[in-house]
Amino acid sequence: MTIHAGHWGAYRPRVSDDGRLVAAEPFEGDADPSPLLGSLPGAVHARNRVLRPAVRASWLRGERGRRGADPFVEVPWDHALDLVADALARTHADHGPQAVLGGSYGWSSAGRLHHAKTQLNHFLACLGGYTGQVSNYSYGAADRLLPHVLGDTAAVTGQLPTWDDVAAATDTLLMLGGAPAKNVQVESGGTGEHAARLGLARVLDAGTRVVNVNPVRTDAPDHPAVTWVPIRPGADTALLLALMRWLDAHDAVDEDFVARCTTGDDRLRAYLRGRSDGVDKTPEWAAALTGVPAATIAALARRLAAGRSLVTATWALQRAEHGEQPYWAVIALASYLGQIGLPGGGFGFGYGCVAGVGGTYRPFGTPAFHPRPNPCRSRVPVARLADLLLHPGEEYAFDGATHRYPDVRLVYWAGGNPFHHHQDLNRLARAWQRPETVVVHEPWWTPTARMADVVLPATTTLERDDIAASSRDPWLVAMKRTLDPPGEARHDRAILTALAERLGIGAEYTVGRDDAAALRAMYEQARRSAAGHGHALPSFDAFWAVGHHRYDLPAPPPPFADFRRSPSRARLATPSGRIELFSATVDGFGYDDCPGHPTWLPPASWLGAATERHPIHLLSPQPGTRLHSQLDMGAVSAAAKVAGREPCVVSRADADARGITDGDVLRVWNDRGETHAGAVVSDDVVPGVALLATGAWYTPLDPSRDGSPELHGNPNVLTADVPTSRLAQATAAQSVLVQVERVTSAPHRDPHALPAFVDG
Ligand SMILES: Nc1nc2c(c(=O)[nH]1)N[C@H]1C(S)=C(S)[C@@H](COP(=O)(O)OP(=O)(O)OC[C@H]3O[C@@H](n4cnc5c(=O)[nH]c(N)nc54)[C@H](O)[C@@H]3O)O[C@H]1N2
Ligand SMILES: Nc1nc2c(c(=O)[nH]1)N[C@H]1C(S)=C(S)[C@@H](COP(=O)(O)OP(=O)(O)OC[C@H]3O[C@@H](n4cnc5c(=O)[nH]c(N)nc54)[C@H](O)[C@@H]3O)O[C@H]1N2
Ligand SMILES: [Mo]
């Protein structure tokens, strides 16, 4: 029986006699397979697959035209490849490698060889370089903050306290943002098993009390041991500071841990007590900001100090204005509780975000394709995409340094969907008109493909051989070619090989390996790495024949266990070697949007700043029915649409005040844009908060006009393109105020329609 895998898990593809995928049946090694498998047949055989190379008609004629509005001309592969090779060569010759934006952020597909973004980065590095992108949308604020506080990013990317340790040892699990079951369906690179939901269930069965601090009730299990603490979005830092202040006022701080393992508490303590700013951070102070009653805050602090406690936060908390602060405050609170390094104690980020968090991290043996390093030093934080296109040559601050945006003339994207992922899409749509050339590889006619000059049809994973692996999952899974590519679609690696040959870098790009040889080489490298850690992987042929391999890994020690025992021997990679509750480095940057210790900085957009015009805080969570924009054509996503649009959850109070009932069409708008969604009225969200998941395909009513209404419920026409701070320059997508109203009629259009084509 054949086997395959995606970011959503491993499965057994079932194929009809005429070569179509009819079902993706769960892999028998997965105890909790994702329902998203039900969307695969509809997605892989969707009408909107890109079948042939296509070129924007006006660009082909040498005219500017308008990206997103002009029709396309289908051309033969050779012609398309010549056009792209010429544009790359010309851009390099006239403007240098930094004029090519090739960071190409995005999840691409699972499978470690045919990872489109990585292959593109490798290709452009062989060509002489490109402007890259640094950090990510997922945890960009943490990515820059944590090295200053902890010495590295392992609290997000490495081993965290395991579900088993939590079940065995933890009395109170304080989860800021809960642990959404909808999110743990996926893991970047693919998972063999889904262990997170079951892990949390074991924790609850073992008697651990879970506190879900969240504007949304439903993102934690419905279980008697779970308490919902509703909170205003963006206010967690105030809550955390008040919890610390309560511990301080009640002699409940573990002063020994703080003295041995941290630095800078004098500065933090003076701030908590109001000595440095005149504001005592009491539970009463936080109650007014958070909406959490002071007595609830005090009781929570008492509970946390009374037993073994683990404090967690979802990544969403730091995708907000000043998103660095709640993370720093979580670390400070856990330091005050003094249980960092003990089983089931301390803190961790990302439970409930992706499948593998809470499992055993594997620091070796993951097959991966290693791209050649980018010889060009030009790189820009991912979330500054529109700024970079709009403001070439302008200076910006980033993590203590000053940089300048390069002058980008050619944008090359493979494996990402910026018209899904970026904020303020109307602004991006304007910025996107500026470069001379935009090249996109895509399996589907996504909004980003429609905004390109040259669209090259890419295969999906089911149409090629690959290996799925993630360092957070114990499985390696063979992804066996199951289907023939539709139309003239080619693998990204084949497209780039053809371009490399035209540009005289064929040998550098392929290193003389075809796909089969490259896959084998990748596996052999992982096998050597695993052997170095005492783990024997089967030969490639044996692995491929069986189709999967499960690593048997010993239970890991709690993170920071050595450090806790001996902070001077097991120093952290911070300047002090300890946890920095005050960072002289960060303080020295002089950023008022990210001072030297965890600080309450009121956001510009939150309920505390709501106006009559924009009274609702819009959260844009990850969609439970797809992966970002991927699989939106599938059955699972389609079944969840309301009135043919993305569902928007509004609180009962806000719905009643506006005469909104289930199934209404809603107009959600602010000064940046407008989108149409389907109403779902709920008792499980805080009044004043609405939810519109990401991933509905950006469908402007009139793509030839700036800021035309978006018809399908894409929240990114509303979000603000502002950074978390100058420290991280990360996305602040969760900080946005809107108005929501019912409309009686609204235009509709198929978001997955093909673009217009004309003859060449
Ligand atoms: N408002 C708001 N916006 C957000 C977020 C939020 O919370 N709120 N979250 C952000 C986060 S955390 C993330 S990670 C981003 C995600 O943003 P992206 O990663 O850009 O989103 P995807 O839809 O996964 O885009 C992947 C693209 O790759 C294409 N693709 C798949 N397989 C292949 C292949 O083999 N070859 C090629 N060439 N292409 C392929 C898919 O069709 C798809 O268009 O969104 C961010 N945007
Ligand atoms: N099915 C599915 N799963 C996914 C993805 C997907 O597209 N589909 N995307 C994946 C990716 S790329 C990423 S980065 C992760 C992201 O994972 P997360 O960042 O965890 O995702 P979200 O769904 O945005 O938010 C998680 C929870 O945080 C809560 N929250 C939001 N703002 C606040 C706040 O201010 N305070 C508090 N206390 N809680 C808040 C939300 O209500 C929600 O319950 O998800 C991954 N998992
Ligand atoms: Mo993400």
Instruction: Give the CATH number of the domain where residue 176 resides.
Output: 3.40.228.10
Ramachandran category for residue 30: left, alpha or beta (phi over 0 → left; psi -120 to 50 → alpha): beta
- Residue minimizing CA distance to atom 17 of ligand 2: 353
Same-domain check for residues 584 and 689: no
Question: CA–CA separation, 719 vs 726, rounded Å?
Answer: 18
Same-domain check for residues 679 and 713: yes
Residue with the bigger pLDDT between 363 and 129: it is 129
Question: CA–CA separation, 10 vs 461, rounded Å?
Answer: 12
The pLDDT assigned to 363 comes to: 87
The answer to whether residues 678 and 666 touch, using CB atoms and an 8 Å cutoff, is yes
Would 24 be classed as within a structural domain?
no
DSSP-assigned states of every residue in 575-640: TTSSEESS-HHHHHHT-TTS-SS------SSSGGG--SSS-EEEE-PPPTTSBTTBTTTSHHHHHH
Question: CA–CA separation, 135 vs 13, rounded Å?
Answer: 34
* Token digits of residue 548: 């999967």
Q: Which atom of ligand 1 is nearest to the CA of 461?
A: 35
Cα 405 to Cα 128, 388, 391, 399, distances in angstroms: 19, 5, 7, 15
- The domain boundary, picked from 525, 560, 589, lies at 589
Please state the rounded mean pLDDT for residues 28-40. Answer: 98
Q: What share of the chain is helix, strand, coil (3-state, %, to 5)?
A: 35, 20, 50
230 lines ligand 2 (CB under 6 A): no
Instruction: Please name the amino acid found at residue 218.
Output: T
Would 310 be classed as within a structural domain?
yes
The answer to whether residues 309 and 116 touch, using CB atoms and an 8 Å cutoff, is no
Same-domain check for residues 262 and 305: yes
**Which ligand has the nearest atom to the CA of 445?**
1
Question: CA–CA separation, 75 vs 54, rounded Å?
Answer: 6
Q: Which atom of ligand 1 is nearest to the CA of 319?
A: 7
Around 192, how many Cα atoms within 13 Å sit in the side-chain half-sphere? 21
Q: Tell how strand 9-15 and strand 410-414 pair up.
A: unpaired
Helices 492-502, 116-126: axis angle to 10 degrees equals 10
Q: Which atom of ligand 1 is nearest to the CA of 136?
A: 14
Centre of ligand 2 to C-alpha 136, Å, is 14
Question: CA–CA separation, 728 vs 739, rounded Å?
Answer: 29
628 lines ligand 2 (CB under 6 A): yes
Residue with tokens 């108005």: 739
**Which ligand has the nearest atom to the CA of 730?**
1
314 lines ligand 2 (CB under 6 A): yes
Same-domain check for residues 207 and 145: yes
Q: What is the pTM of this model?
A: 0.98
Please state the rounded mean pLDDT for residues 262-289. Answer: 98
Question: CA–CA separation, 387 vs 165, rounded Å?
Answer: 44
Same-domain check for residues 584 and 626: no
Question: CA–CA separation, 499 vs 497, rounded Å?
Answer: 5
6 lines ligand 2 (CB under 6 A): no
- State the chain's maximal CA–CA distance in angstroms: 78
Would 485 be classed as within a structural domain?
no
Centre of ligand 3 to C-alpha 315, Å, is 8
* Token digits of residue 40: 């695969």
The pLDDT assigned to 159 comes to: 97
Same-domain check for residues 580 and 703: no
417 lines ligand 1 (CB under 6 A): yes
Is there a catalytic annotation at residue 551?
Answer: no
Residue 760 has pLDDT above 90, yes or no: no
Probe target for ligand 2 pocket from 212, 229, 231, 314, with the most ligand atoms within 8 Å of CB: 314
pLDDT tens digits, one per residue of 36-63 = 999 999 999 999 999 999 999 999 999 9
Nearest alpha carbon to residue 166 among 551, 472, 559: 559
Same-domain check for residues 582 and 651: no
**Which ligand has the nearest atom to the CA of 211?**
2
Phi, psi of 692 (to 5 degrees): -135, 105
Centre of ligand 1 to C-alpha 3, Å, is 24
Same-domain check for residues 255 and 298: yes
Same-domain check for residues 581 and 715: no
Centre of ligand 2 to C-alpha 513, Å, is 40
Burial category of 704 from C-beta neighbours within 10 Å (exposed 0-12, middle 13-18, buried 19 and up): exposed
Centre of ligand 2 to C-alpha 691, Å, is 11
Overall number of domains in the chain: 2
321 lines ligand 2 (CB under 6 A): no
Question: CA–CA separation, 626 vs 609, rounded Å?
Answer: 32
The pLDDT assigned to 405 comes to: 98
Centre of ligand 3 to C-alpha 136, Å, is 7
Question: CA–CA separation, 645 vs 712, rounded Å?
Answer: 5
Same-domain check for residues 584 and 733: no
Burial category of 520 from C-beta neighbours within 10 Å (exposed 0-12, middle 13-18, buried 19 and up): middle
Same-domain check for residues 633 and 580: no
Is there a catalytic annotation at residue 315?
Answer: no
First to last CA, the chain: 45
Please state the rounded mean pLDDT for residues 650-668. Answer: 98
Centre of ligand 1 to C-alpha 208, Å, is 35
Q: Where does the pLDDT of residue 452 fall: very low under 50, low under 70, confident under 90, or very high at 90 and above?
A: very high
694 lines ligand 1 (CB under 6 A): yes
Would 288 be classed as within a structural domain?
yes
Would 195 be classed as within a structural domain?
yes
Please state the rounded mean pLDDT for residues 435-457. Answer: 98
Among residues 11, 105, 432, 551, which one is catalytic?
105
- CA Rg, the chain, in Å? 25
The pLDDT assigned to 365 comes to: 83
Q: Which atom of ligand 1 is nearest to the CA of 716?
A: 1
Centre of ligand 3 to C-alpha 7, Å, is 12
Would 42 be classed as within a structural domain?
no
Nearest alpha carbon to residue 574 among 269, 598, 600, 582: 582
pLDDT tens digits, one per residue of 391-429 = 999 999 999 999 999 999 999 999 999 999 999 999 999
Please state the rounded mean pLDDT for residues 175-198. Answer: 96
Phi, psi of 289 (to 5 degrees): -85, -40
Around 161, how many Cα atoms within 13 Å sit in the side-chain half-sphere? 27
> Which residues, including other chains, have CB under 8 Å from residue 234's CB and lie 6 or more apart?
320, 321, 603, 605, 606, 607, 617, 734, 735
The pLDDT assigned to 409 comes to: 98
Element holding 24 (H helix, E strand): strand 21-26
Average pLDDT, the chain: 97
Please state the rounded mean pLDDT for residues 661-685. Answer: 98
Q: Which atom of ligand 2 is nearest to the CA of 620?
A: 24
Q: Tell how strand 548-550 and strand 475-479 pair up.
A: antiparallel
Would 39 be classed as within a structural domain?
no
**Which ligand has the nearest atom to the CA of 694?**
1
- Residue minimizing CA distance to atom 46 of ligand 1: 421
DSSP-assigned states of every residue in 499-530: HHHHTT-HHHHHTT--HHHHHHHHHHHHHHHH
- The domain boundary, picked from 556, 589, 622, lies at 589
The pLDDT assigned to 217 comes to: 98
Question: CA–CA separation, 134 vs 157, rounded Å?
Answer: 15
- Residue minimizing CA distance to atom 16 of ligand 1: 421
Among residues 8, 11, 59, 107, which one is catalytic?
107
Q: Where does the pLDDT of residue 352 fall: very low under 50, low under 70, confident under 90, or very high at 90 and above?
A: very high
Same-domain check for residues 729 and 615: yes
416 lines ligand 1 (CB under 6 A): yes
Around 539, how many Cα atoms within 13 Å sit in the side-chain half-sphere? 3
133 lines ligand 1 (CB under 6 A): no
The answer to whether residues 651 and 686 touch, using CB atoms and an 8 Å cutoff, is yes
The answer to whether residues 701 and 711 touch, using CB atoms and an 8 Å cutoff, is yes
Would 159 be classed as within a structural domain?
yes
> The sheet that has 466-469: what strands, in order across it?
466-469, 475-479, 548-550
The pLDDT assigned to 1 comes to: 80
The pLDDT assigned to 364 comes to: 87
Ramachandran category for residue 226: left, alpha or beta (phi over 0 → left; psi -120 to 50 → alpha): beta
Q: Which atom of ligand 2 is nearest to the CA of 176?
A: 38
Question: CA–CA separation, 618 vs 720, rounded Å?
Answer: 11
- Which residue pairs, CB below 8 angstroms and at least 24 apart, start in 150-158? 150/331, 150/572, 150/574, 150/579, 150/580, 151/572, 151/573, 151/574, 152/572, 152/573, 154/559, 155/331, 155/347, 155/348, 155/349, 155/559, 156/315, 156/349, 156/350, 158/361, 158/363, 158/559
Question: CA–CA separation, 245 vs 252, rounded Å?
Answer: 10
The answer to whether residues 122 and 505 touch, using CB atoms and an 8 Å cutoff, is no
**Which ligand has the nearest atom to the CA of 424?**
1
- The domain boundary, picked from 533, 555, 589, lies at 589
Would you mind telling me the total number of residues written for the chain in this entry?
760
> Which residues, including other chains, have CB under 8 Å from residue 101's CB and lie 6 or more apart?
130, 131, 388, 408, 410, 411, 412, 435
The residue range of the domain holding 687 is: 607-743
CATH number where 696 lies = 2.40.40.20
The answer to whether residues 262 and 581 touch, using CB atoms and an 8 Å cutoff, is yes
